[in-house]
Structure 1
Amino acid sequence: MDDNWESKNVGTQSVDRAQQGTTLGYLVAEANAMNAKPVSSLRSADVYPFGDRGFDVRAKLKGLVKSLKPNPQKRVDSLFKKYQISSIKSSIMESSAFHDWTSKVMRTYKTNPEAGEVLMVSTLTAHYGDDVVTKMLHEAKEMPRTKAVAVKLQEAQLINWMTTGQTADDVFKLLKLDGKTENVFDDPAFRTWMSYVSKLNQKNPAKPIAIDVLLKNYYELDLASMIVSSKNNAQEKKNTILAHILTDLQTMLFKRWKHDDVTPNMLAGMYNYRAKFTKETPYIVTRYATFYKQID
């Protein structure tokens, strides 16, 4: 392939002409739906930050719609192969080959950098999988040399999931959070998932997507204890972002119990009957009793 290829066209995944209509139709529907109502989020951008552009979903989708054409993904894939990035065994994003690849793509998409970032994420995902790419990006954010590009690619990862129609359930599984036996909240991928859920909540702020997915994967009493335990650890480590996220989840769970007419006494009885008492149980029951008395 000619190394000097140039394209102002952009796609979010490798699609042929037959597939393009479906992808384009989805993007148009998403952009129109987001343009029809104001954007709100689960919390402020300070709680779920992926850079200053992290929640400008509407603008990105509209931009992708305008420029979507077939084959740009293949060109980015070809550059990935040319620089032999797949042969790098460790610290991929710190390598000179990765730097050369991203630089070439971004020069090509200098008038639409978000599109280039989404294409690169799609290529990386095809080679390594969503969970590995997520881990790679979290690790790269900790390194001064790769932090800037990692932040942009994290955001592009969320946009890529949205443009391909992934649900919160889908992404939970793609990140392999559904199979975790230890505390899921300690996995860096969980924060990525919550950032994605926040974007989905922009379309329907009243629907508690996160708690629905978690309750499909964990028994509610276990989930409550996990939330409190992880929140305490986050506060001790001064991880305010994770602490805020877990406080949100605790409130969502309490709202669910109250909606289901679970009284504090009933909750205590559930813990006793299920023999689920942990060191967090007294705190959970006490906090729920206070929450239960509040007027909606």
Structure 2
Amino acid sequence: MRTYYIALLVGTLVARADAGSMAEPTSVAYELSVTTRSLVDQTNKGIKRFPRTLKTNAEADEERVFGVNLGFVDDFLESLSQSSQIRHMLNERTSAKDAYKVFKVDEVTDNILESAQWKQWASYIAKLNEKDPDESVAAAMTVAYGGDGVAQIVAKAMKNPNTKIAAEKLEDAQLTRWIKLDSNPAEIFKVLKLNEKTDDIFNSPQLGTWTSYLKKYNEKHPTKQVSEMSVFTKIYGEEDFVKLLASADDNTAVVKKFKDELVKRWLGEPTHTLNIFNNLKLNEAGDDLLANPVLTIWVKYMKAFNKEYPQAETTMIQTFTKSYGDEKLATMIQAATKVEETKDFAKNLQTAQFNQWMVDKKTPKDILGVLKLNSQTFTDNPSVDIWRAYNKAYTKDYQKETFQIYRLRTSNFARDRNRETQKRAGRVGKVPDLYDETLKYYAKTFICTHGWDFKARGRGDRTNHTVRGIGCKGQLNAALNRDKGVYTVRISKHQSTHNLSMGPDEYTCYAKTRKIESPGIKRVVRNAKNNLAYLKEVPSKPLQQKDVENMIAEMRRETYTSSDDVRVSQLLQDFGEGPGNAVRIFRDPATSLTSCITFQTAHMIRMARMFAEAL
């Protein structure tokens, strides 16, 4: 039976120690006030020696740090009583920081709580304050590593089965120490250095420690609850906190919770979406608006606001327009369509802006004024692309309102027109009147989709039954006209009488009118399952039998890479090459047509030979 001789060291361990007993005067004052109280609740006594007591293994009461048995402590305490260095450290009230260096804990690079150096150091700190050993070690570690460092050590040790219990006890001791001091959650927030902006703050172990403390604090103070949101906004300010939240990974549960709480708080005031837009300085974002991560939080709030207050419902375009105006917003959106990260979002916004212009009864001519386009700036102004896109959308909307579908029949280039004009002017000796060839087209002719016979451009696999030429005379002729240097589009001919029924039922029969062009919707319905769900659930686009047939045909093309004949031939070849399998083809010699094909596996042939009577 092994026995341990224990030298109980009591006496002048720690008097009413001042801040210097734990750290240098330059250390964080708040941390010193916390650690001092934990370590100095003892009287100033001289060293008193007690006779060693013989203990059996069954009787030995091993020293415990964080409630975990440290088997080496008995032997270590034996050496403490005999070591002049240790006696000197105790007599001189050596600080935890200095003892930290003596035991070389600073040389440990891996899991600190698993090292012998830390265990020796922790046992020494526990002997300095036997009344609250756990909290004393937690306080000393906070001085050595800082509150944030201890949180990281705990998080790492939690993942190791050998140190998990010690880590849990260490964290609990840290929280208990702060609770006894009634530390303000905002102060602990700073102790853990959560006030220093980091990209991974919402995934940091420091935040986990702080939220655990906040829970204990609120349990202690049920009448003056403190919320996580209030501390974040108090320290960061609402604008910076929202930026921090917007730049974080949206898949994190903590981030989602904060965003929901933020939206709920804004709704409770309530604050109009335009005011929140301005408070977040999104009205100053300029060309970077669509790429600004804060915009996603504002959009989340806008949707919640519209649902809660439908009488004050608003849209992104309406809010953006109030802040930037039509022209500036249009150029911002156009620029964003050329950036890969914002392309789809910008195209959807441009469609929304065009729709708003149409609701406001703005014609393409009106938009020329909005975009400040004229004959002198039309050719080299980048805004001309916006006008052309709106003109196309406006024309399409006009066709929808009148239930007409026009197709481009012919187009004449400005260069061809100039070439003919030069020839005629040369023959009569006049100066030719030339048009700007950068405008590309001089004239276009549009006719009703039933005005000509359909010209097959495919391989003939499927016959097109949608468009039939019935000689409809519906036609629209447009040509450029120049007057005093100003170009305008003039309708030279318009035949609006059709020889077919026109109405919503007929209009929706055309696949062109039911085509989904929104990049956002295309992204959602990219697979067959979501595509079918969209067809069933979204009533904005009329569903025809032809749509389902087209989808099935497309799926077949993606699934099958060869024709039926090729696949049958491959099947026969694979079957025939199997050991013992037999394929017999019976062909009529008169017609050379195959009348029958039989398949017999090797097993079938064996069974037929063994049980011929069954046949």
The bucket for the TM-score relative to the shorter chain is 0.5 to 0.7
Contact in 1 for aligned 2:113/2:157 (Cα 8 Å): yes
Once the two structures are superposed, residues 217-253 of structure 1 have per-residue CA deviations (whole angstroms, 9 ceiling, x without a partner) of: 334245345436646232xxxxxxxx1x444433443
Looking at secondary structure, tell me which structure has more strand per residue.
2
Q: Could you tell me which residue of structure 2 aligns to residue 95 of structure 1? A: 115
Q: Which has the higher contact order (CA 8 A, sep 6+)?
A: 1
Q: Does 1:216 align with 2:234?
A: yes
Contact in 2 for aligned 1:83/1:98 (Cα 8 Å): no
Q: Distance in 1 between matches of 2:226 and 2:264?
A: 10
Where 1:215 maps in the other structure, the secondary structure is helix
> What pairs with 1:255-266 in structure 2 (closer than 5 Å)?
255-266=264-275
> Shift of residue 205 of structure 1?
6.2
Percent same amino acid among aligned pairs? 22
Q: Could you tell me which residue of structure 2 aligns to residue 28 of structure 1? A: none
Counterpart selection for 2:105 from 86, 91, 95: 86
Q: Could you tell me which residue of structure 2 aligns to residue 16 of structure 1? A: 16
Once the two structures are superposed, residues 177-207 of structure 1 have per-residue CA deviations (whole angstroms, 9 ceiling, x without a partner) of: 2122534213221111121122222213663
Q: Distance in 1 between matches of 2:15 and 2:126?
A: 21
Counterpart selection for 1:273 from 283, 299, 313: 283
The range that moved more, 115-124 or 158-167, is 158-167
Name the CA shift for 1:207/1:143 in 2 (closer, same or farther; >3 Å).
same
**What is the identity, as a one-letter code, of the residue corresponding to 1:280?**
T
Q: Does 1:5 align with 2:40?
A: no
Q: Distance in 1 between matches of 2:264 and 2:298?
A: 18
Q: Could you tell me which residue of structure 2 aligns to residue 173 of structure 1? A: 190
Name the CA shift for 1:281/1:86 in 2 (closer, same or farther; >3 Å).
same
Q: Distance in 1 between matches of 2:307 and 2:244?
A: 19
Contact in 1 for aligned 2:276/2:298 (Cα 8 Å): no
Q: Distance in 1 between matches of 2:256 and 2:222?
A: 20
Q: Distance in 1 between matches of 2:217 and 2:225?
A: 10
Counterpart selection for 1:151 from 168, 174, 181: 168
Looking at secondary structure, tell me which structure has more helix per residue.
1
Q: Distance in 2 between matches of 1:291 and 1:219?
A: 27
Q: Distance in 2 between matches of 1:103 and 1:117?
A: 10
Contact in 2 for aligned 1:183/1:226 (Cα 8 Å): no
Contact in 1 for aligned 2:16/2:42 (Cα 8 Å): no
Contact in 1 for aligned 2:122/2:137 (Cα 8 Å): yes
Name the CA shift for 1:167/1:285 in 2 (closer, same or farther; >3 Å).
same
Contact in 1 for aligned 2:214/2:226 (Cα 8 Å): no
The range that moved more, 73-82 or 140-149, is 73-82
Q: Could you tell me which residue of structure 2 aligns to residue 11 of structure 1? A: none
Contiguous gaps of at least 5 residues in structure 2: 1-5, 20-36, 45-89, 310-615
> What pairs with 1:1-296 in structure 2 (closer than 5 Å)?
4-5=8-9, 16=16, 69=42, 77=96, 84-91=103-110, 92-102=112-122, 115-202=132-219, 203-204=221-222, 207-224=225-242, 226-227=244-245, 230=248, 232-234=250-252, 243=253, 245-271=254-280, 272-275=282-285, 277-278=292-293, 280-281=296-297, 283-286=299-302, 288-289=304-305, 292=308
Q: How many residues are paired up?
A: 229
> Shift of residue 75 of structure 1?
9.1
Q: Distance in 1 between matches of 2:143 and 2:260?
A: 37
Contact in 1 for aligned 2:245/2:259 (Cα 8 Å): yes
> Shift of residue 259 of structure 1?
4.1
Q: Distance in 1 between matches of 2:241 and 2:8?
A: 53
Name the CA shift for 1:155/1:287 in 2 (closer, same or farther; >3 Å).
farther
Contact in 2 for aligned 1:225/1:284 (Cα 8 Å): no
The range that moved more, 284-293 or 116-125, is 284-293
Name the CA shift for 1:263/1:186 in 2 (closer, same or farther; >3 Å).
same
> Shift of residue 149 of structure 1?
0.3
> Shift of residue 268 of structure 1?
4.0
Contact in 1 for aligned 2:151/2:206 (Cα 8 Å): yes
Name the CA shift for 1:141/1:80 in 2 (closer, same or farther; >3 Å).
farther
- Backbone CA RMSD of aligned residues: 4.2
Q: Distance in 2 between matches of 1:257 and 1:96?
A: 53
Q: Distance in 2 between matches of 1:251 and 1:291?
A: 15
Where 2:250 maps in the other structure, the secondary structure is helix
Q: Distance in 2 between matches of 1:224 and 1:184?
A: 13
Contact in 2 for aligned 1:134/1:192 (Cα 8 Å): yes
Q: Distance in 1 between matches of 2:307 and 2:125?
A: 51
> Shift of residue 175 of structure 1?
1.5
Once the two structures are superposed, residues 107-144 of structure 1 have per-residue CA deviations (whole angstroms, 9 ceiling, x without a partner) of: 9999x8xx322111012122222222222222211222
Q: Could you tell me which residue of structure 2 aligns to residue 59 of structure 1? A: none
Contiguous gaps of at least 5 residues in structure 1: 8-13, 20-63, 235-242
**What is the identity, as a one-letter code, of the residue corresponding to 1:194?**
T
Q: TM-score, normalised by structure 2?
A: 0.31
Q: Distance in 2 between matches of 1:222 and 1:126?
A: 30
